[in-house]
Amino acid sequence: MVAEDDEKQAELARRYLEREGHTVVVVRDGREALDHLHRAAPDLLVLDVMMPRLDGLDVVRSLRAEGHELPVLMLTARSTEDDLLLGLDLGADDYLTKPYSPRELVARVRTLLRRAARTAPGRAPAPDPVLRVGALTVDPDRHLVTVDGAEVVCTPGEFRILAALAAQPGRVFSRQLLLAELHGFDRFISARTVDVHILNLRKKIEADPRAPARLLTVYGVGYKLTAGAVRG
């Protein structure tokens, strides 16, 4: 559920979250948020602080007083330390300050849902979020890459590309698809930017970057990630 009185902000959040595969209900004020929460059981609440009738701080205060353990991600234009601490002290699980990247919102929601699935009583354990392709691992939650057990330091852009490839090993990604993964991380992005990231990644994950065994070029199409050979 998204509780946001700004129509454009609510629509942007709804569109990005639905694109991720979530079913989204939008409410416009704090009172409506509580009423809906008492009728339904959403998996997570994206909650704006500044709302009419009842603000977001009062909503989360009421939820926690009633014993609800629903994950709450708060959105606010406020950015002072006191405001951030108050929201967290009341029981919010995470905080985003406006203006925020919709892609960051989606990533935070994904992390909170994984955490809730791992800790909810009576639920089966959540799938392991770590992506494994041969001896290469990519851990999105910890922003960690390892090859043969050794940590590899990646820039944000390199990590986004590698995580996308590792999520679907063997699939060929066009440069255009990989550009979409870089949106918001690289100020100036082009097809050449993708090529540079690929070259740098090969230096980090390949035994011989000039003869890659993992991160392969599919000429005329794009790139794919395979299990490859053990780095020696």
Q: Is the pLDDT of residue 58 over 70?
A: yes
Task: Give the predicted TM-score (pTM) of the model.
Answer: 0.53
User: How much of the chain exceeds pLDDT 70, in percent?
Assistant: 85
Mean pLDDT of 4-30: 90
List helix spans (H) across the chain: 7-19, 30-39, 56-65, 81-90, 102-119, 156-167, 175-182, 191-205
Indicate the length of the chain as a whole number.
Answer: 232
Residue (of 123, 142, 116) closest to 131 by Cα position: 142
Asked whether the predicted pLDDT for residue 64 surpasses 60, the reply is: yes
How are strands ordered across the β-sheet holding 215-218?
173-174, 222-225, 215-218
Q: Comparing 82-91, 122-131, 149-158, 174-183, which segment has the lowest mean pLDDT?
A: 122-131
Condensed to tens digits (0 to 9), the pLDDT of residues 165-209 reads 998 899 999 888 888 766 544 444 566 778 888 999 999 999 999
pLDDT reading at 83 higher than 70: no
pLDDT of residue 46: 94
> What is d(CA 108, CA 114) in angstroms, rounded to the nearest whole number?
10
Which DSSP letter does residue 200 get? H
pLDDT tens-place string over residues 193-203? 788 889 999 99
pLDDT score at 182: 67
Mean pLDDT of the chain: 83
pLDDT at res. 50: 85
Q: In a 3-state reduction of DSSP, which class is residue 63? A: helix
SS3 183: coil
Task: Tell me the per-residue pLDDT of 93-120, one tens digit each, with 9 for 90 and over.
Answer: 888 888 888 888 888 898 888 877 765 5
pLDDT of residue 130: 86
Structure confidence at residue 204 (pLDDT): 95
The radius of gyration computed from the CA coordinates of the chain, to the nearest angstrom, equals 21
**Over 80: is that where the pLDDT of 160 sits?**
yes
Q: Which of 27-31, 82-86, 136-140 has the lowest mean pLDDT?
A: 82-86
User: What pLDDT does 225 receive?
Assistant: 95
